[in-house]
Chain A
Amino acid sequence: MKNPLSDKITGIKPSGIRKFFDLVSEMKDVISLGVGEPDFDTPWHIRDEGIYSLEKGKTFYTSNSGLKELKQEISNYIKRNQNIEYNPNGEILVTVGGSEAIDLAFRAMINDGDEVLIPQPSYVSYEPCAILANAKPVIINLKPENDFRLTPEEILENVTDKTKILVLPYPNNPTGAILEKDDLEKIAKVVTEKDLYVLSDEIYSELTYSGKHVSISSIPGMKERTILINGFSKAYAMTGWRLGYACGPENILKQMTKIHQYAIMCAPTTSQYAAIEALKNGDADVLTMKQSYNQRRRFLINAFREMGLECFEPFGAFYVFPCIKEFGLTSEEFATKFLTEEKVATVPGTAFGESGEGFLRISYAYSIDTLKIAMERLKNFTEKLRNH
């Protein structure tokens, strides 16, 4: 029989997380700090609105780009939070999570051989999706001495005349790093000079702890070259609802919508109705969740300090990225040993790129009580290793 598989697909490495996931699933009584989704339930009023829409029989397709009311609310939301105007007619597309938006952007914009700059450590999907779209991923290895922020120098070192897109994943998974206005202005300068486009994945934009998130799209000259991606998963604890959106120049969004129309038809209708409620009335819920995350963040940073574990203070998302190089183990060795000996699951930094070697991703999407126990065990573990 013919080989049924696409070479391109079989050539893509399997997710570094999968192996670990399988290991953890086998064990009992493990405290897993490896989760990338909020521990909160979707606020009740949002769930209620989704349920109500089902009761009312709203179970049909919506228009491809999303419910008109939802696109309008998204436009309002971006205007009030970022002071950027996106026209709901043509500049906004409602997608199946931020994930789909990333995929669509690559597929709509890449020609064979175009290069895509991908800063790492970062979310696992950028590299595979770029490859799927026939792009050549060019990895930028971020540095801990820069607090894992992307610098214009790093862009210049890696840009060629084939570079088409720069992926900007901030606030960042797995490091928790953010970019501030000055950083963005410097990056914007280089992006404009080299005539690049930016794919700005801002899914954690609501979870910043040192001032409001600034989108690169708000920097003068950037709106016309940025695809802004965001969604409802992290801010409103709606991961399973699969809802996100992309905003950008009309000509690009038109092509993204075309792919979306053929491959997906439309994002889930129930989720769209729930999302309208989230945008209209969910601000207070987001603030409450953010305050909780912030408390946990401070708790963890303090715990690391007390046990002498090196970790830069993150101001975004819900991850901390401590350095475990002093113990002479690789990230995977450390994480596996920690898991088998203390029954705490963390994710080795290498799951997010080679530059994650020597680091561990710990999620604080858990109650303080769980984090307390986990930190006790981490303290035991690091002391054991040091006294060895």
Chain B
Amino acid sequence: MREEILELIEKNSRIDLKELAVMIGKTEVEVINEIAQMEKEGVICGYHTLINWEKTTKERVNALIEVRVTPQRGQGFDAIAQRIYNYPEVNAVYLISGGYDLLVSINGQTLKEVSTFVSEKLSTLEYVLSTATHFVLKKYKDHGTIYAEKKPDMREVITP
């Protein structure tokens, strides 16, 4: 039941719970309880909305920054990651395998704002060795959703 609820709710966090219950063959009460339990356990961490800011008038820039750090004795990468993610501009921090250590995603209003953040706040952190900033130019697909125009139903209207 859990996986089925999660798969449906992940694609549509506003799904009507009564409808969800019908679709998976359970009662509404069972579904509500299971969701409450998952929220408590931290399985469900939030209900966000996916927005294509390109289509609004608000200026917005997203950058992905590769950060190389010196892990701290006794704490590994956690302490540095925390110092980074505390900033509200930072919307994601991942520990990565490969040529660098942390991948940080930052949102800002302009390129300048983001670069300033990187040069003044991020690069200057203790234990940060170097950063490499990549600006996102175009989003094709995000969180499983393709941003392109919705494809029309191309099937013949009636088939046997």
Could you jot down 23 A-B contacts, CB within 8 Å? A17-B158, A17-B159, A17-B160, A20-B158, A21-B156, A21-B158, A25-B157, A30-B157, A32-B158, A35-B155, A35-B157, A35-B158, A35-B159, A36-B159, A39-B155, A123-B160, A125-B160, A298-B24, A299-B19, A299-B23, A345-B158, A368-B19, A368-B23
* Chain B min CB distance to A384 (Å): 24
Give the distance in Å from the alpha carbon of A35 to the alpha carbon of B156 in the complex.
7
Known: A39-B153, A291-B4. A302 touches B22 (CB 8 A): yes
B25 interface contact, C-beta 8 A: yes
Decide if A298 touches B23 in the complex (CB within 8 Å). Answer: yes
Chain A contact-residue range equals 20 to 34
Give the distance in Å from the alpha carbon of A17 to the alpha carbon of B157 in the complex.
11
Give the distance in Å from the alpha carbon of A102 to the alpha carbon of B156 in the complex.
23
Decide if B158 touches A347 in the complex (CB within 8 Å). Answer: yes
Decide if B23 touches A34 in the complex (CB within 8 Å). Answer: no
A21's closest neighbor in chain B, by CB? Answer: B158
Please list the 7 inter-chain residue pairs (A to B) with the smallest Cβ-Cβ separation, ordered nearest first.
Answer: A295-B23, A34-B158, A36-B159, A21-B158, A32-B157, A302-B22, A124-B160
* Chain A min CB distance to B87 (Å): 38
One digit per residue, 1 when the CB lies within 8 angstroms of any chain A CB and 0 when it does not, for chain B 7-44 equals 01000000000010011110000000000000000000
Residues of B within 8 A of A302 (CB): 22
* Chain B min CB distance to A320 (Å): 14
CB-contacts of A13-41 with B (<8 A): 15, 17, 20-21, 24-25, 30, 32, 34-37, 39
Residues of A within 8 A of B153 (CB): 39
**Interface residue ranges, A against B (CB under 8 Å):** 15, 17, 20-21, 24-25, 30, 32, 34-37, 39, 123-125, 173, 291, 295-296, 298-299, 302, 345, 347, 351-352, 368
Residues of A within 8 A of B25 (CB): 298
Known: A291-B4, A299-B19. A36 touches B160 (CB 8 A): yes
Most buried by A among B25, B155, B156, B160: B160
Give the distance in Å from the alpha carbon of A166 to the alpha carbon of B23 in the complex.
36
Decide if A15 touches B22 in the complex (CB within 8 Å). Answer: no
B153's closest neighbor in chain A, by CB? Answer: A39
* Chain A min CB distance to B14 (Å): 12
Give the distance in Å from the alpha carbon of A123 to the alpha carbon of B23 in the complex.
27
Give the distance in Å from the alpha carbon of A347 to the alpha carbon of B156 in the complex.
14
Give the distance in Å from the alpha carbon of A21 to the alpha carbon of B159 in the complex.
8
Residues of B within 8 A of A20 (CB): 158
Residues of A within 8 A of B155 (CB): 35, 37, 39
Known: A39-B155, A299-B19. A351 touches B24 (CB 8 A): no
B160's closest neighbor in chain A, by CB? Answer: A124
Give the distance in Å from the alpha carbon of A375 to the alpha carbon of B160 in the complex.
21
Residues of B within 8 A of A34 (CB): 157-159
Residues of B within 8 A of A299 (CB): 19, 22-23
Residues of B within 8 A of A352 (CB): 160
Give the distance in Å from the alpha carbon of A35 to the alpha carbon of B153 in the complex.
11
B159's closest neighbor in chain A, by CB? Answer: A36
Give the distance in Å from the alpha carbon of A17 to the alpha carbon of B156 in the complex.
12
Decide if B157 touches A345 in the complex (CB within 8 Å). Answer: yes
Give the distance in Å from the alpha carbon of A125 to the alpha carbon of B159 in the complex.
12
CB-contacts of B28-86 with A (<8 A): none
Q: Given A24-B158, A295-B24, 12 other A-B contacts at CB below 8 A?
A: A21-B157, A32-B157, A34-B157, A34-B159, A36-B160, A37-B159, A39-B155, A123-B160, A173-B160, A295-B23, A296-B23, A299-B22
* Chain B min CB distance to A267 (Å): 20
* Chain B min CB distance to A77 (Å): 25
* Chain A min CB distance to B123 (Å): 40
Give the distance in Å from the alpha carbon of A25 to the alpha carbon of B8 in the complex.
33
* Chain A min CB distance to B156 (Å): 7
Residues of A within 8 A of B8 (CB): 295
A36's closest neighbor in chain B, by CB? Answer: B159
Residues of B within 8 A of A123 (CB): 160
One digit per residue, 1 when the CB lies within 8 angstroms of any chain A CB and 0 when it does not, for chain B 127-160 equals 0000000000000000000000000010111111
Residues of A within 8 A of B19 (CB): 299, 368
Residues of A within 8 A of B156 (CB): 21, 35
Give the distance in Å from the alpha carbon of A370 to the alpha carbon of B91 in the complex.
35
